[in-house]
Structure 1
Amino acid sequence: MEQQATNIDYYHADNKGLCPDNCYLCGYIYYSSLLIDRTRTAFIHVPMLNKPFSAAQMAAGIRIAMVEMLKLVPGSEPTPVVLVTGFGPFGNHNVNASWEAVQELEKLVTGDEFVLVTREIPVEYDTVKTLVPTLWKEYQPKLVVHIGVSGIAKELTIEQQAHNTGYDKADIRGVFPKNQCCQFGSDECIASWLGMETVCSAVNNSKCGVDAVISLDPGRYLCDYIYYTSLHINPFCTAFIHVPPLNQPYTARQLAVAIRIAILAMLRLVPD
């Protein structure tokens, strides 16, 4: 990350062979924006692709930097951070519709409404147990929305609650949670404080073409498990959405549009 830019000594030509004011582009654009407002301007240099980082790795790092920068902007209301997760492959879902929808959501969110942080989560109990609390601590999100795929869902299915026990199905590594339990000694059910009826209505009234329904049973597998894990951390700003398999009947893009509408409705319900 660059701390400053200078006004002189730019002698490289641009891709048209031009040197406006004897200047090259990285420092030039940074200096130009700093002249307008140095309190809200930053510049990040990235290495060449795969030397050593992929585009996805660099994007993840840039998102982290943006979250931290927003905390430092003086005199402005911080843009809310929304953490959205999807799951990786499992069972017959070699391409998990939840992660496909989350990746489409990344293309829809500009950052004006909220800062989107996304993660693909492996279908593993131990990973959920260790990674999810870390993500909460790292990003301090205003809202956490977990997305999962349901083979029986026909609509966007918004879950109201999650269960603590009854996890008798092995994850992709053949592992069960200890005592088939998520949080030992905790309540059997935790419900989100977000009014999912309101969220459901927002999607259905939006004319986005995707129907939404409410459910009380996330299924006692990783979807239920990750939801309970986050609800146990903070039930006031946690949600879970099940999506149907891709093209049954919705595309990943259609699902992403509906998820964005749901997120905006949820943000209005999160207590200050």
Structure 2
Amino acid sequence: MKVLMTGFEPFGGEKINPSFEAVKKLDDQIVGAHIIKAEIPTVFRKSIETLTKIIEKEKPDIVICVGQAGGRCDITVERVAINIDDARISDNEDNQPIDKKIYEDGKNAYFSNLPIKAMVKEINDNLIPASISNTAGTFVCNHIMYGLLYMINKKYTNIKGGFIHVPFIPEQVIGKKNVPSMILDNIVKGLKCSIKATVENEKDIIVSGGAIC
């Protein structure tokens, strides 16, 4: 079994992106699965093009894209991606699409087909904070998650795929007041747990993972 894990390059003035820093530290084998690691440009459209080329080359069974969510305090496994780009800031090539569909022939939204609740449970069982998220935002993280799920829906129906957001790491919040962070080793451990849960759970578990607001 092959698991493709991707992280993003730094963006928004940051010098580091914990998503790829964590992906780089993953073992090459986790619960018998071969782990492929790749860095994705934080650029609209190019991110999807890069991911597409890697999928075509590696033919993974599972794809988990990882991104930075500064301000979140835990690891958040995303449930859904929406068909919209609405960038509050420019990407790394100065693109700033506003209210643009990602794919004209795509659905309004696609849901992850990963066992998201089993992933959260496995991470929490290992004493690392994690939860389900019902919004991946409208920047490049949502963009690539939507692109991945669009590909799965249209072409790669045998692939399981989805997205995980991770918090800042401590060195990113120095000088930032009341901004949460998580040490990199715990993020790496959380990603390992998510891979384990995905490999070991053909179907998701049935537990509450909803939110009131």
TM-score normalised per structure 1: 0.64
SS at match of 2:163: strand
Residue 205 in structure 1 maps to residue 137 in structure 2: no
CA distance in 2, matches of 1:178, 1:250: 31
Question: Residue deviations 1:35-64, cap 9 Å, x none?
Answer: xxxxxxxxxxxxxxxxxxxxxxxxxxxxxx
Residue 94 in structure 1 maps to residue 12 in structure 2: no
Residue 163 in structure 1 maps to residue 82 in structure 2: yes
**Which residue is 1:242 aligned to?**
165
Residue 219 in structure 1 maps to residue 137 in structure 2: yes
Alignment of 1:57-136 (within 5 A): 80-105=1-26, 108-110=27-29, 113-136=32-55
**Which residue is 1:186 aligned to?**
106
Question: Residue deviations 1:135-154, cap 9 Å, x none?
Answer: 11111111001010011210
Gap regions ≥5 residues in structure 1: 1-79
What is the CA distance between 1:192 and its match in structure 2? 1.1
Higher helix share: 1
Q: How many residues align?
A: 188
CA distance in 1, matches of 2:23, 2:87: 28
SS at match of 1:180: coil
Amino acid at match of 2:103: Q
CA distance in 2, matches of 1:212, 1:110: 23
> Conserved in 2, the CA contact under 8 Å of 1:104 and 1:252?
no
Moved more, 163-172 or 197-206: 163-172
Higher strand share: 2
SS at match of 1:83: strand
**Which residue is 1:232 aligned to?**
150
SS at match of 1:118: strand
Report the identity percentage.
24
SS at match of 1:218: coil
**Which residue is 1:12 aligned to?**
none
What is the CA distance between 1:178 and its match in structure 2? 8.9
CA distance in 2, matches of 1:234, 1:96: 26
Moved more, 244-253 or 172-181: 172-181
Alpha carbon RMSD of aligned pairs, Å? 2.0
CA pair 149-104 structure 1, distance change in 2 beyond 3 A: same
SS at match of 2:25: helix
What is the CA distance between 1:253 and its match in structure 2? 1.6
CA distance in 2, matches of 1:151, 1:190: 24
CA distance in 1, matches of 2:138, 2:49: 18
TM-score normalised per structure 2: 0.81
Gap regions ≥5 residues in structure 2: 154-158, 171-179, 204-213
CA distance in 2, matches of 1:110, 1:130: 26
**Which residue is 2:200 aligned to?**
268
> Conserved in 2, the CA contact under 8 Å of 1:159 and 1:239?
yes
CA distance in 2, matches of 1:231, 1:243: 20
What is the CA distance between 1:168 and its match in structure 2? 3.4
What is the CA distance between 1:129 and its match in structure 2? 2.8
CA distance in 2, matches of 1:187, 1:203: 31
> Conserved in 1, the CA contact under 8 Å of 2:81 and 2:142?
yes
Amino acid at match of 1:190: Y
